[in-house]
Amino acid sequence: MKRKWIGMSSEVFRTIDNLGRVVLPSDMRRSLGISEDDEIELSLEKNRIVIRKRIPSCIFCGRKTHLSEFDGKYICQGCFLLLEKVFGKSADVRQGGQE
């Protein structure tokens, strides 16, 4: 019998190992579309640790489509074009804003 986790408040108990790792049940991972090597987000919300599948989004507007990655950050095509318009195609962009 397969369990469905979406929209259910089922509890599963796991032990944290000496390196702080915990194993997520495979049927939970399948229900959420989490596969090996996928990135997940961990956050603290009040007194809970929340785990979500990481869905890349634009660092400026939050859009999740038409993304390009640069140095681990994502920017959508629309924001890229806007930045290009503001700074020009050959703008002298310095890393970290330092001169």
Reported as a single tens digit per residue, the pLDDT across 2-54 is 555 555 557 888 999 999 999 999 988 888 889 999 889 899 999 999 988 88
Break the chain into its structural domains and give their ranges.
Answer: 1-55, 56-89
* Contacts for 43 with CB less than 8 Å, ≥ 6 apart: 49, 50, 52
Question: What are 66-77's pLDDT values in tens digits?
Answer: 999 988 899 999
pLDDT confidence tier of residue 97, bands split at 50, 70 and 90: very low
CATH number of 1-55: 2.10.260.10
Instruction: Round to whole Å and give the CA distance between 29 and 97.
Output: 40
Residue 87, CA atoms < 13 Å, CB-side half-sphere? 12
